[in-house]
Structure 1
C-alpha cells in the first residue's frame, strides 16, 4: 500500500526502497490526502544477511516531525533486529537451540566456525581466509581466482586444491562438491553483520559488532582488501555521526585511539568545558606533538 512507486514519497515506502531511515514532514508527501501527517520510518534487517525484512514506521502529527522521533524509530528498529536474531537462536520455550545456519567469526585474532548442531571450533588462518573469500563470492571462485586472492605471489592450482581438500574435511557439507568452489549453505559472518548495521544507520551497534580488524594476521591480498574496506566503512560512519557516544566508543578502541579526525569530531560534538571536550583537546595536542 505504501510502496514509493505506488503512492510516491512517504517514510515507510522510501525507507523500504532505499534501505535507510527517513523522515517525511507534511507537505513533503507526494499524495495530497496524507500531507496533514508526518512520518518517520526505519528498515528492519536480518542481521545475518543484511536483507530488509520490513519497515518500522510512526505516523502522526507534530511529534512525528521531530528529530527525536526519527532517533526513536531507528533505535526501536535496531532493538527489533537484535530480538529477531535472538529468537532465531531459541526454541518456542525460549531454550537455546543450535544455529540454523553456519556462523563465522572472523573479526578477531582467533577465528571460529559454528556448524549447526555443533559447538564452535577454532579455525586455522588459512581455513578462515578461504571461508571469508568464499562467503564474499556466492557465485563461486575458481582455483586461479583463489590463488590470486590468497597469496601476494599467487599460489599454484595444485596448492589451492589441496587447501580446499583440507578445508572440506573440517567444514563438511558447508562446502559445495562442484566447481567453481562455493559454499553450499548460507554462512552468517560477523563481517556481514557489521555491514547490515551500517546500512541501517545503526552506527552504535556497528561499532560494537566491529570487534577488531578482519583476520588481522592475514596477508592474503583478498582479505587485506576486505579488511581495509570494512574498517574504512566503519570509520566513515563514525566521522559522519552526530552521536558523541559513537565517536567516544571509536576513540576508545585501538583502531581509533590515534585517529586525529575522530578526536577533532569529538571536540566539535562535546560541550565546551566538559570532561569529554577537555580530553579530546588534550589527545589532539598529544597527536600533534607526536606527528611533528
Structure 2
C-alpha cells in the first residue's frame, strides 16, 4: 500500500528566507524588525524559548536511558495504543513512508520514534530519538514541545524552528489527553518534509489523537477496574566517569566524589551486572588475584556509600549491585544505538577514567572509545565527523581525517586544514 503522505501542491505561506532573517533579528535583540513576516504563534514561541535560555543550536538531553526508557514506556498509558498509531499514521511500508512518527509523554520526552529509516537516521543525528527531551523550554520551538505548551495541535515549518539544526524539517503534532480527567498525558508528532505540514496532515494527526483517547477509554471499560496507582520511582543513581579520574556519583540531587579506586570498583560492578567473584574483581582492579587487599577496600567503599546511596552499596558473594547503576558512558552508547550521533559525541566528555590502569577499566575505556569511533565512521554526517576530528580521541586519527576530506565538497574552506593535518601525521 503506498504512503498516505503526499507533497503539498503549494509552497508555504511565508518563505523560509524571510523567517530565517526574522529569527536572526530576534536573536540579535531587534524584536521589532521583520517579525511581521512570521506567524504570531511562532514569534511567541521564540520569545518563550529565549526566556528559557534555549540555545539556537543546542542539543536535547537524553533524560531516559535504555533500561529506564523500557520500563517507563511499558507503564505509560500510550503503550497500549501504539499499534493504532502505526496503522493510522504509518500505512504501507513504514520504513519507506517518507515521514517519521514520534509519541511522547506530557513532559515532552520522546518514547517511540518510528517510520522512514532514512529520515530517522538524519533526525536521530540531531537527537530526535526515544528518551530525549523535546519540550519547548528544552529545545525551543518545535511541533511536539509547542503543542504541549499550547495544549493544541501545531504545525511548525522548516525555518520556524527555534533551533537552527532542526530547520531542515517540518512537523505536525497534537496533544493527547486522559479521556476521563482530560489531563495531558502525551503527544503525537509527524516529522518529515513539506508533506508533514499540509492541512490534511493536521487533520490526520488530530483525528489520531482523538482515536487514541477513545481507545484508552474503551480499554479501561473492558478491564472494569480503575488504573493502578502510580508509584514514585526511586531516585536514579548515575556514575560519571567520562573524562575524569575521580568519578562523581549522583543520586537524588546529591553528589559524592569517589576515590580513584572506589570509582574503578563501582564502574566494574556497573558493567558486570551479573556480579563478579572476589577473585575476578580483584584481577580486574589490581591485575592479579588480591582478595585480601580488595576486601578492606570494599568495606571502605560501603562506608562511603551508605550515607548518600544505600541502594548502591554492593552485595557480596558475588560482589554485585542489586539495584543497578547507570554510567554516563552507557548513556553515550545508548545514544549511538538510537542513531543520535551528534548528541552522543556532545555527551562524550572524554575517555573512561583516563588515568586508571586497572585492566578491567582499560577494557571498558577501549570498548567505549572504539564503539564511538566505529559508529561515527559508519553512519555520522560530515559535521559530526569534523567535530570528532577536533576532539582528543579523533584529532590524530588519520582514517577519520581522510574520511572527512572525502565527504567535504571540493570548494570547502575546511579542506586545507584537513590536508595539512594529514600531511603532518604522515611526516610523524
State TM-score, norm by structure 1.
0.72
Secondary structure of the structure 2 residue equivalent to 1:164: helix
1:125 to 250, 257, 260: 260
Establish whether residue 160 from structure 1 lines up as the match of residue 294 from structure 2: yes
TM-superposed CA distance for 1:205, in Å, is: 1.2
Q: 1:267, 1:277 within 8 Å by CA — same for their partners in 2?
A: yes
Cα gap change, 1:269 to 1:67, in 2 (>3 Å)? farther
Matching of residues 78-117 of structure 1 within 5 Å: 78=128, 81-83=131-133, 100-109=235-244, 110-116=246-252
Cα gap change, 1:256 to 1:132, in 2 (>3 Å)? same
Cα gap change, 1:240 to 1:142, in 2 (>3 Å)? same
Cα gap change, 1:281 to 1:72, in 2 (>3 Å)? closer
TM-superposed CA distance for 1:150, in Å, is: 0.6
1:46 to 59, 64, 76: 64
- Structure 2 partner of 1:209: 347
Distance between the aligned counterparts of 2:333 and 2:68, measured in 1? 7
Cα gap change, 1:50 to 1:237, in 2 (>3 Å)? farther
Distance between the aligned counterparts of 1:242 and 1:155, measured in 2? 42
Secondary structure of the structure 2 residue equivalent to 1:104: strand
265-274 vs 277-286, which deviates more?
277-286
Backbone CA RMSD of aligned residues: 3.2
Cα gap change, 1:199 to 1:132, in 2 (>3 Å)? same
TM-superposed CA distance for 1:63, in Å, is: 3.8
Distance between the aligned counterparts of 1:253 and 1:239, measured in 2? 14
TM-superposed CA distance for 1:277, in Å, is: 1.9
- Structure 1 partner of 2:90: 59
Q: 2:125, 2:343 within 8 Å by CA — same for their partners in 1?
A: no
Distance between the aligned counterparts of 1:82 and 1:253, measured in 2? 24
User: Size of the alignment, in residue pairs?
Assistant: 240
Question: Which structure is larger by alpha-carbon Rg, 1 or 2?
Answer: 2
Secondary structure of the structure 1 residue equivalent to 2:394: coil
Secondary structure of the structure 2 residue equivalent to 1:275: coil
Distance between the aligned counterparts of 2:391 and 2:68, measured in 1? 25
Cα gap change, 1:282 to 1:190, in 2 (>3 Å)? same
TM-superposed CA distance for 1:37, in Å, is: 2.3
Matching of residues 70-81 of structure 1 within 5 Å: 70-71=120-121, 73-74=123-124, 78=128, 81=131
- Structure 1 partner of 2:2: 36
Secondary structure of the structure 2 residue equivalent to 1:83: coil
Establish whether residue 233 from structure 1 lines up as the match of residue 371 from structure 2: yes
State TM-score, norm by structure 2.
0.50
- Structure 2 partner of 1:9: none
1:139 to 274, 280, 297: 274
Q: 1:49, 1:193 within 8 Å by CA — same for their partners in 2?
A: no
- Structure 2 partner of 1:267: 405
Q: 1:99, 1:115 within 8 Å by CA — same for their partners in 2?
A: no
